[in-house]
Amino acid sequence: MKSLIAGNWKMNGLGASAAEIEALIAQFDGSAPDDRDILICPPATLVNRFASAYSDEGFLIGGQDCHAKSAGAHTGDISAAMLADAGAAYVIVGHSERRADHGESDADVRAKAEAAFGAGLTPIICVGEMEADRTAGRALDIVGAQLDGSLPETAEDFVIAYEPVWAIGTGLTPTIADIDEMHDFIRGRTRADIRILYGGSVKPGNAKEILAVNNVNGALVGGASLKAADFYPIIMAAPGA
Ligand code: PEP
């Protein structure tokens, strides 16, 4: 299975941030390697610009969220069809920041994932426990319930990102044994051909060890995806296909 290294830029990036992708391309000597998939999810304002400029260089471009409906009176929202029209190939759904800041439920996430697949995008469905759940020994139960509620019933192609909420942007990560246990658990709940990413404080210094874990098929990277100097070694730490 080809590794997928995805960068979630969150609400960061202006047109000038294209310089970071140019810097990545320079590191790759012209175009991205084809033995791993590299995805950049910039803010929606940059999706079309980046897809037009960098798809031919081997970069996949994705959105960070989409609405479950294809069009309508939803001011400020963006549909999966719009992202696809702008050149996106993937979309993140159910990120913990969306679940927390916008009250998105598992049912909302499932509806978005199905809308994404219907529009020709591959959804990346995020799940992950809170710190209190991990401490109380409930991490597998919580993630299991999120999978039951969020995974699409109709979509054939999707990606799961296991992102413990307490590890996002904190510099903290679960132990390798805990990542191994969770990814093995998630694999048991889905199919053999579905990629399962780990996300939460992946950095150049820990990427190799995390990406070598069984059933870790790539990473969803936040802060460290914003700078080519950090993202490049993470991309290269993934096992090639
Ligand atoms: C994320 O937001 O998906 C994420 C994993 O962030 P970070 O890498 O900064 O922890």
Q: What is the pLDDT of residues 110-141, one digit of tens each?
A: 999 999 999 999 999 999 999 999 999 999 99
Asked, for residue 214, whether it belongs to a domain, the answer is: yes
Give CA–CA dist 210/229, Å, rounded. 19
Give CA–CA dist 54/50, Å, rounded. 6
Atom of ligand 1 nearest to the CA of 92: 3
Beta carbon of 168 within 6 Å of any ligand 1 atom: yes
Which tens digit of pLDDT belongs to each residue from 83-109? 999 999 999 999 999 999 999 999 999
Residue 72: which CATH number?
3.20.20.70
Asked, for residue 140, whether it belongs to a domain, the answer is: yes
Beta carbon of 218 within 6 Å of any ligand 1 atom: no
Beta carbon of 220 within 6 Å of any ligand 1 atom: yes
Beta carbon of 128 within 6 Å of any ligand 1 atom: no
pLDDT band at residue 29, thresholds of 50, 70 and 90? confident
Residues in the chain, overall count? 241
pLDDT band at residue 156, thresholds of 50, 70 and 90? confident
Asked, for residue 18, whether it belongs to a domain, the answer is: no
CA of 170 to the centre of ligand 1 (A): 9
Give CA–CA dist 171/181, Å, rounded. 20
What is the domain range of residue 138?
A: 61-229
pLDDT band at residue 212, thresholds of 50, 70 and 90? very high
Asked, for residue 45, whether it belongs to a domain, the answer is: no
CA of 131 to the centre of ligand 1 (A): 15
Task: Report pLDDT for 154.
Answer: 83
Task: Report pLDDT for 186.
Answer: 98
Beta carbon of 200 within 6 Å of any ligand 1 atom: yes
Cβ atoms 93, 114 nearer than 8 A: no
Beta carbon of 221 within 6 Å of any ligand 1 atom: yes
**Residues with Cβ within 8 Å of residue 176, at least 6 apart in sequence:** 209, 210, 213
Asked, for residue 198, whether it belongs to a domain, the answer is: yes
Q: Is 83 exposed, middle or buried (0-12, 13-18, 19+ CB in 10 A)?
A: buried
- Within its chain, how far is the Cα of 142 from the centroid? 19
CA of 207 to the centre of ligand 1 (A): 13
Asked, for residue 26, whether it belongs to a domain, the answer is: no
Three-state SS sequence of the chain: CCEEEEEECCCCCCHHHHHHHHHHHHHCCCCCCCCEEEEEECCHHHHHHHHHHHHHHCEEEEECCCECCCCCCCCCCCEHHHHHHHCCCEEEECCHHHHHHCCCCHHHHHHHHHHHHHCCCEEEEEECCCHHHHHCCCHHHHHHHHHHHHCCCCCCCCEEEECCHHHCCCCCCCCHHHHHHHHHHHHHHCCCCCEEEEECCCCCCCHHHHHCCCCCCEEEECHHHCCHHHHHHHHHHCCCC
Asked, for residue 70, whether it belongs to a domain, the answer is: yes
Please say if 74 is a catalytic residue.
no
Query: Residue with the nearest Cα to atom 2 of ligand 1?
Result: 222
Please say if 22 is a catalytic residue.
no
Atom of ligand 1 nearest to the CA of 10: 2
Number of domains in the chain: 1
Q: How many CB atoms lie within 10 A of CB 50?
A: 26
Query: Residue with the nearest Cα to atom 6 of ligand 1?
Result: 222
* Number of alpha carbons in the 13 Å side-chain half-sphere of residue 213: 24
Give CA–CA dist 61/41, Å, rounded. 6
Beta carbon of 64 within 6 Å of any ligand 1 atom: no
CA of 88 to the centre of ligand 1 (A): 20
| pLDDT beyond 80 at 155 | no
> What pTM value is reported for the model?
0.97
CA of 103 to the centre of ligand 1 (A): 19
